[in-house]
């Protein structure tokens, strides 16, 4: 046995030497071995290898099957974090940076009083408030529509689907300024500069058009990107512990309190800031919810622009009464975010054109981008399976949680339940009220010697 292991070690060393001569990444892509999870004793056992080899000989395409099963498609990119954000991947975790890839199966979370924005390849933007967590289960590129499947584990999360409609061009200040300056320089507003002229001092105190110009820039980018997106929708399937939300292009804010209730609000086009005449006339697809219960397969339409409350067991949904004032204040933070939407359009141009191709060759899609092409029938079958699967799984989880809580109460203990409070938005709200406008912070007219030139100040006795 020792001799056999010695031979195997020599062979592995030789193979490793060969791999060094291959182009970067080829050896890893061709290998189906999970090198980071190897148990040395079993891996070096000739008997184990022989048994596995005999089993694989019975299935000639075993290697392709394993590679396809282990393949994880990229769902999007991490955009920006304020505080401490983390991605859990398998048994490891790390702190993401700008444009870090988010794969299927990844869990993204914000620790403590942290915030994050994420960009999905279909154009969806996702915002995480403090102590929030979301799992990305899958992204499917379809012929007629794309598909996203994610689970909101806990916290306050905004799911903002991309709209091809232009936004109302207003000059009101942005609300989610906690992320300023944005990490993407091209998305930062260009300040509306005013020239210093002694004969026209009134001009210096007139309202700047910085944010108005940013909205105009946003609408131009949307119009350009619409040429390749061509109205292709994304069907989102969003799971929370006690409710599931599904439908094309939803823009919904979800507050999932671990062990407690869930609050959600579907934003209409008008609430999103779409131009008034288009928001009134444009017909939007309905968004549906599915409650919990082993026999409850009914789907209910989710009303727009009204906060809804789901009970702990996921059996009823009613207009929200509890925490309504907190919810409205938290919602205000993302009311006007043109710079973040500009960033979305820029990232869409850079990363997402493959997801909107008019004529898609499935072989080229797989070879060049690593995605499988789904037909409409396949996506419909997948959706039918997910509805049934997650309803049963989440109902079982809620039932087990209820029994556990009852046992704790019998022992005189209690299960800690997450409460909704201003903790989810207070840092962002404080930043909004204390933040100086682009007009004052970046440029307030002519740069005077009295403000920048230290030597000039000293010559004129100014300290």
Q: What is the mean pLDDT of each run of 10 residues along the chain (463 residues)?
A: 49 44 41 68 79 81 67 91 94 93 96 96 96 96 96 96 95 93 92 64 67 95 95 96 96 93 94 88 86 91 94 93 91 96 97 92 90 94 96 93 84 82 93 71 47 52 48
- Kindly state whether residues 61 and 83 are assigned to the same domain: no
Q: Which two tokens stand for residue 446?
A: 């002519």
Q: Tell me if 434 is assigned to some domain.
A: no
Phi/psi of residue 294, nearest 5 degrees: -65, -25
Please identify, among 392, 419, 443, the residue that sits at the C-terminal boundary of a domain.
392
- Residue 111 is predicted with a pLDDT of 96
Query: Scanning the structure block, which residue is given the tokens 């891996």?
Result: 43
- Residue 16 is predicted with a pLDDT of 44
Question: Domain range holding 14?
Answer: 2-69
- Residue 56 is predicted with a pLDDT of 80
- Kindly state whether residues 286 and 239 are assigned to the same domain: yes
Q: How far apart are CA 296 and CA 312, in angstroms?
A: 16
Q: Tell me if 137 is assigned to some domain.
A: yes
Q: Tell me if 321 is assigned to some domain.
A: yes
Q: Tell me if 64 is assigned to some domain.
A: yes
Helices in 295-375 by DSSP H: which ranges? 324-332, 338-351, 362-364
**Into how many domains does the chain fold?**
2
HSE-up of residue 289 (Cα within 13 Å, Cβ side): 26
Instruction: Say if CB 394 and CB 292 are below 8 A apart.
Output: yes
- Kindly state whether residues 42 and 151 are assigned to the same domain: no
- Residue 72 is predicted with a pLDDT of 83
- Kindly state whether residues 223 and 156 are assigned to the same domain: yes
C-alpha of 287 from chain center: 19
Q: Can you give the pTM of this predicted structure?
A: 0.81
Q: How far apart are CA 307 and CA 294, in angstroms?
A: 26
User: By C-alpha distance, which of 159, 74, 176 is closest to 124?
Assistant: 159
List, in order, residues 6 or more apart from 363 with CB less than 8 Å away.
Answer: none
- Kindly state whether residues 87 and 213 are assigned to the same domain: yes
Before 211, cis peptide (omega within 30)?
no
Secondary structure element (H or E) that encloses residue 66, with its range: helix 62-70
Give counts: helices (H), strands (E), the chain.
16, 16
Q: How far apart are CA 128 and CA 254, in angstroms?
A: 10
Instruction: Say if CB 372 and CB 140 are below 8 A apart.
Output: yes
Q: Tell me if 385 is assigned to some domain.
A: yes
CATH of residue 224's domain is: 2.60.120.1440
- Residue 360 is predicted with a pLDDT of 87
Q: Tell me if 377 is assigned to some domain.
A: yes
- Kindly state whether residues 172 and 256 are assigned to the same domain: yes
Q: Tell me if 410 is assigned to some domain.
A: no
Please identify, among 374, 392, 410, the residue that sits at the C-terminal boundary of a domain.
392
* Bridge partners (DSSP) listed for residue 76: 102, 120
Q: Tell me if 356 is assigned to some domain.
A: yes
């Amino acid at each position: 046995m020792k001799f056999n292991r010695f031979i195997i070690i020599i062979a592995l060393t030789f193979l490793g030497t060969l791999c060094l001569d291959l182009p970067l990444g080829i050896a890893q892509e061709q290998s189906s071995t999970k090198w980071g999870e190897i148990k040395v004793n079993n891996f070096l056992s000739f008997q184990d290898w022989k048994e596995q080899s005999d089993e694989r000989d019975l299935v000639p395409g075993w290697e392709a099957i394993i590679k396809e099963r282990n393949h994880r498609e990229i769902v999007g990119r991490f955009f920006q974090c304020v505080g401490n954000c983390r991605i859990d991947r398998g048994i490891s975790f790390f702190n993401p940076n700008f444009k870090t890839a988010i794969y299927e199966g990844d869990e993204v979370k914000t620790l403590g009083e942290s915030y994050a924005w994420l960009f999905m390849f279909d154009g969806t933007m996702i915002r995480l408030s403090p102590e929030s967590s979301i799992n990305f289960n899958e992204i499917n590129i379809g012929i007629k529509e794309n598909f996203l499947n994610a689970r909101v584990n806990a916290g306050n999360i905004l799911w903002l689907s991309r709209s091809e409609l232009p936004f109302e061009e207003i000059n009101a200040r942005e609300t989610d300024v906690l992320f300023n300056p944005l990490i993407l320089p091209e998305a930062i507003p260009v300040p509306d500069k005013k020239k210093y002229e002694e004969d026209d001092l009134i001009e210096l105190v007139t309202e700047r058009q910085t944010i108005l110009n940013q909205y105009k820039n946003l609408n131009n980018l949307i119009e350009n990107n619409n040429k390749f997106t061509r109205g292709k929708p994304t069907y989102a399937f969003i799971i929370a512990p006690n409710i599931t939300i599904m439908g094309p292009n939803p823009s919904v804010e979800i507050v999932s309190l671990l062990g407690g209730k869930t609050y959600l609000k579907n934003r209409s086009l008008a609430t999103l800031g779409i131009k008034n005449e288009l928001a009134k006339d444009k017909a939007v697809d309905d968004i549906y919810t599915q409650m919990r219960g082993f026999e409850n397969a009914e789907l209910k339409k989710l009303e727009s622009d009204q906060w809804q409350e789901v009970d702990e067991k996921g059996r009823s949904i009613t207009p929200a009464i509890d925490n309504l004032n907190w919810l409205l204040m938290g919602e205000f933070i993302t009311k006007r975010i043109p710079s973040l939407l500009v960033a979305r359009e820029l990232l869409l141009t850079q990363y997402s054109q493959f997801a909107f191709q008019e004529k898609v060759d499935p072989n080229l899609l797989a070879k060049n981008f690593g995605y499988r092409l789904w037909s409409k029938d396949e996506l419909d079958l997948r959706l039918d399976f997910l509805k049934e699967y997650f309803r049963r799984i989440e109902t079982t989880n809620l039932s087990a949680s209820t029994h556990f809580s009852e046992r704790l109460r019998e022992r005189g203990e209690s299960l800690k339940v997450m409460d909704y409070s201003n903790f989810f938005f207070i840092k962002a709200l404080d930043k909004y009220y204390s933040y100086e406008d682009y007009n004052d912070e970046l440029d307030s007219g002519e740069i005077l010697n009295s403000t920048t030139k230290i030597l000039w100040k000293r010559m004129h006795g100014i300290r």
